Structure 1
Amino acid sequence: MSDELTPRGSLTCRGCGSDGLVSVLDLGRQPLSNEMALTTTEPSPTFPLHLRVCPACGLGQIGEYVLPERIFGAEYPYLSSVSTSWLAHAGEYTRHMTEELGLTEGDLVMEVASNDGYLLTQMRDAGMRVLGIEPALQVAEIARSRGVDTVNEFFGLALAEKVAESHGRPRLIAANNVMAHVPDLQDFLAGLSHLCDDDTVVTVENPSFVTQMQETQFDTIYHEHFSYLSAHAVAAATRDVGLELTRVEKLTTHGGSNRYWLTRTGAREAHPSVAEVVAEELAAGLLTPELWEDFADRSRAVIRGLRTWLDERHAAGRTVAGYGAAAKGNTLMNAADVRADDLVLVVDGSEAKQGKFLPGSHVPVAAPSELAAAEPDDVLVLPWNIAPEISRLVAELTPGAACWIAVPEMREIG
């Protein structure tokens, strides 16, 4: 463990600080899921990918081997606006929070990890003042080009102090699918706390760790995701920073997510949903080895299932392509030892990924318009969380191909 940056995630819980983390699923050494190769011969450096769980608070987590500056640097390729379903989700969030909080024109709405402005453009169009915080330079520049004021820095307490001084305290802070990406969770939460007054609501969206285990969604484990959240773990992590969990909303995004409402301690009465969801998590076995072990066994079965399916396709002379150069897909394919001769190509709508090669497998990434020319018999949809959207695209581009997903098991979709 001498090459680890800190003991968080492997020896010490980054949420509650407890030790005694339990090994649940070791996926071996894997490359960074979004670190695309430029050539077929470019090596993909690998790092341990090992899920552990805190038996005290139930936070799932992996160790720290790479600085966030490398993972989320200038050329970070993920763009939220590529997915039409995610844009629709942002629109629904804008309407929902505007109504719930009574947001009015001129109220400040901030988003941490604001990506390409996919959400804040909609908040701005609804009349709110907006400020994004996005560490990836090229992505931040896209947001700025759309008229979204964006701070190009990593978020933590030090930045929160500067932002509070220059912009004041917002009515709403969105932290969607970012809290899992933070190695120093306590510094991140302290920054959110500093930005809050008694009228501020912070919403944190992330896949439910319990759902991930129940639905065998092990491919969401990759180096960008330092933590795997539950209501029980979020409540524990916020206790020492002046925040408390006061509401939980269940979402369908990413295969089953939760939206956690955080507010200043004592500022808002807790909604019954907090106790309800925590009780559901404990009843499902969040803190029990039985659920962890069953999840690990099913995950290994999915990996074997994909490998067998690909071998059968190859033996039958069928051409297989992939759709979606998603990070989760790279975890799955590297765990199953997928190589470039298994998939003829993977297509993706993000121009930042096109013309490159998937990390580890070195499968080429092309634009969706190139799918038909590959004449695939089968198309493996890697971002299964938006499979309905992708299956419609596949049907338009190459109507004769069968569409498949591998998680939670190999099955054809239509």
Structure 2
Amino acid sequence: MSSTTCQICDGEVEEFLDLGRQPLSDAFPAEGDLGHEFFYRLAVGMCRSCSMVQSMEQVPRERMFNEDYPYYSSGSSVMRAHFEGIARGFLGGELARPDPFIVEIGSNDGVLLKTIHDAGVRHVGFEPSGKVAAAAAERGVRVLGEFFDAGTAAGTRESDGPADVIFAANTICHIPYLRSILAGVKTLLAPDGVFVFEDPYLGDIVAKRSFDQIYDEHFFLFSARAVQAMAARFGLELVDVERLAVHGGEVRYTIARAGARKPKAVVADLIAAENARQLADLRTLRQFAAATARIRDDLVATLRRLRAAGHEIVGYGATAKSATVTNFCGIGPDLVSYVCDTTPAKQGRFTPGTHIPIRPAEAFSDPYPDFALLFAWNHENEIMAKEQGFRRAGGQWIRYVPDVHLG
């Protein structure tokens, strides 16, 4: 175990979990690229000063978010409805004022801003990943193919004026250089504006033992306590929190300029609940690390037992988080025959690091396997409704969150 310097406050970050040598989670190599992948050590620690949980090593952002980034937010009907609901909430609330302006950090394929655009509201999305940004532009969304930071925020303030809303979903936790992000937010935000972002919640990750939420793109694992401290360092204030069920458990944080709005009681309530759970105690996080090792051992033993009995096992969902599972556990094509996925850009390629073939979703039922390892567990309800035929054919799901079980 090692220590490093906190990206927020320069305090000491003490490591509590090492997930080993890992590839880029969203880089699905073609057959000719199997020997040329980028690897790094994936480990996480907690700052002893501000309690921010963060990765011990940074992966260069250009390696993760580039022209070939394969994740499209519109790919899930659940997430499409989720983002449309957020957009309509803004239109009926924070944007219900004369000539409003909203900025989205990491706007992906425009799944949220399309609704904003259709309402005729001024907007801009920052999206450095080329193909998903192009998909947003095709929808009529105004998008800049740049990273959001203090410099680009200042440029937007000059060209468009202050933002009433700055929004980000599953993006802020990706960014190690949060000081520049928050400086940019402070520059761009209107005096009574809000910065709203939602990301995976440390409390849910620990409670569910969902260690696969830790991968290269998830540099930070936020808690309300840590976000409150982070905001205060930049003259901002955490004024609202909302628990969300999406992506295995997230929190939506609302930040305003210090003193501009009265914090809601739910902020203090959630921080009190975190304190009661000792979420900022390294002993709690080390217990989570020990549980992670047990899940790894149980999962590998289960897969080996089923394969030894002659059963076929396939993976369901070539997710970014599955890279953590397969590489930490050493799961390759000897245990999982293939992974099926609906994303065309991933099909015909291989899983990062462990090189399990990725096939189209249609392969899952042609014929059904005996067992399916549910990598996309955060979309379980959607998948179970779609794949009822698998169970009728006698198939069983293998889950590893919060523990290894069949059913």
Aligned residue runs from structure 1 range 81-230, under 5 A: 81-101=74-94, 103-104=96-97, 106-230=99-223
Deviations 1:373-401 (A, max 9, x none): 25311111102111111122222578422
Secondary structure of residue in 1 paired with 2:306: helix
- Residue 29 (str. 1) matches residue 24 (str. 2): no
Answering whether residue 403 of structure 2 is matched by residue 409 of structure 1, we say yes
For 1:207-356, what aligned pairs fall within 5 Å after superposition?
207-356=200-349
CA distance in structure 2 between the partners assigned to 1:154 and 1:317 by the alignment: 49
1:52 deviation in Å?
Answer: 0.6
Distance 2:288 2:390 in 1: 36
Q: Conserved in 1, the CA contact under 8 Å of 2:22 and 2:324?
A: yes
CA shift, 1:197, in A, is: 1.5
Q: Distance in 2 between matches of 1:123 and 1:412?
A: 43
The C-alpha deviation readout for 1:112-170, integer Å capped at 9, x for no partner, is 00000111112223442221110101110111011111000111000001111112222
Q: State the alpha-carbon separation in 1 of the partners of residues 390 and 361 from structure 2.
A: 8
Q: Secondary structure at the match of 1:245?
A: strand
| Alpha-carbon distance between aligned partners in 2 of 1:399 and 1:122, rounded to the nearest angstrom | 39
Q: CA offset at residue 283 of structure 1?
A: 1.2
Distance 2:391 2:98 in 1: 46
- Partners of 2:340 and 2:184 in 1: how far apart? 38
CA contact (8 A) 2:58 2:176 kept: no
Aligned equivalents of 1:116 and 1:399: distance in 2? 36
Question: Partner letter of residue 407 of structure 1?
Answer: V
AA in 1 matched with 2:327: N
1:173-213: per-residue Cα shift (whole Å, max 9, x none)?
Answer: 11111111001111111111111122211111011112211
Q: Quote the Cα distance in structure 2 between the aligned partners of 1:397 and 1:349.
A: 17
Q: Is the 8 A contact 2:44 2:55 kept in 1?
A: yes
Alignment of 1:362 onto 2:355? yes
Equivalent residues of 2:43, 2:57 under 8 A apart? no
Unaligned 5+ segments in structure 1 are: 2-8
Q: Distance in 2 between matches of 1:116 and 1:365?
A: 23
Tell me how far 1:38 sits from its aligned partner.
Answer: 0.5
Contact 2:41 / 2:57 at 8 angstroms: preserved in 1?
A: no
Q: Does 1:375 align with 2:368?
A: yes
The structural deviation recorded for 1:360 is 1.1
User: 2: CA distance between counterparts of 1:147 and 1:381?
Assistant: 35
- The AA in structure 2 aligned to 1:39 is E
Equivalent pair of 1:10/1:62 in contact (CA under 8 Å): no
User: Relative to total residues, which structure has the larger strand share, 1 or 2?
Assistant: 2
Q: Which amino acid aligns with 2:66?
A: G
What is the deviation of 1:103? 2.2
- Identity of aligned pairs, percent? 35
Tell whether the 8 Å contact from 1:320 to 1:342 is kept in structure 2 after alignment. yes
| Alignment RMSD | 1.9
Whichever residue aligns with residue 103 of structure 1, its letter is: A
Q: Is the 8 A contact 2:95 2:101 kept in 1?
A: no
Task: Please give the TM-score of this superposition, normalised by the length of structure 1.
Answer: 0.93
C-alpha change, 1:103 and 1:339, in structure 2 (3 Å) is same
In 1, are the aligned partners of 2:88 and 2:115 still within 8 Å (CA)? no
Runs of 4+ in 1 over 6 A off after TM superposition: none
Q: Which residue in the other structure is 1:5 paired with?
A: none
Match of 1:79 among 45, 49, 72: 72
Q: Which residue of 2 aligns with 1:391?
A: 384
Q: Deviations over 1:6-32 (max 9, x none)?
A: xxx95111122212x222111111111
Aligned equivalents of 1:228, 1:13: Cα separation in 2: 13
Q: Distance in 2 between matches of 1:102 and 1:141?
A: 26
- Give the CA deviation at 1:290: 2.5
Aligned counterparts, 1:21-60, within 5 A: 21-39=13-31, 42-43=34-35, 44-60=37-53
- Measured after TM superposition, the shift of residue 96 of structure 1 is 2.8
Deviations 1:328-364 (A, max 9, x none): 1110111110011221211111112111100111111
> Distance in 1 between the 2:80 and 2:136 partners?
14
Q: Quote the residue 2:10 is aligned against.
A: 17
Deviation at 1:270, TM superposition (A): 1.2
Report the Cα distance in structure 2 between the residues aligned to 1:407 and 1:40, rounded to whole angstroms: 34
Is the Cα contact below 8 Å between 1:64 and 1:183 reproduced in 2? no
Secondary structure class of the residue paired with 1:363: coil
Taking structure 2 as the reference length, the TM-score comes to 0.95
Kept after mapping to 2: 8 A contact 1:170/1:195: yes
Distance 1:154 1:280 in 2: 35
Consecutive unaligned residues of structure 2, counting only runs of 5 or more, are: none
Preserved CA contact (<8 Å) 1:131 1:150: yes
Question: In 1, Cα distance between the equivalents of 2:3 and 2:60?
Answer: 16
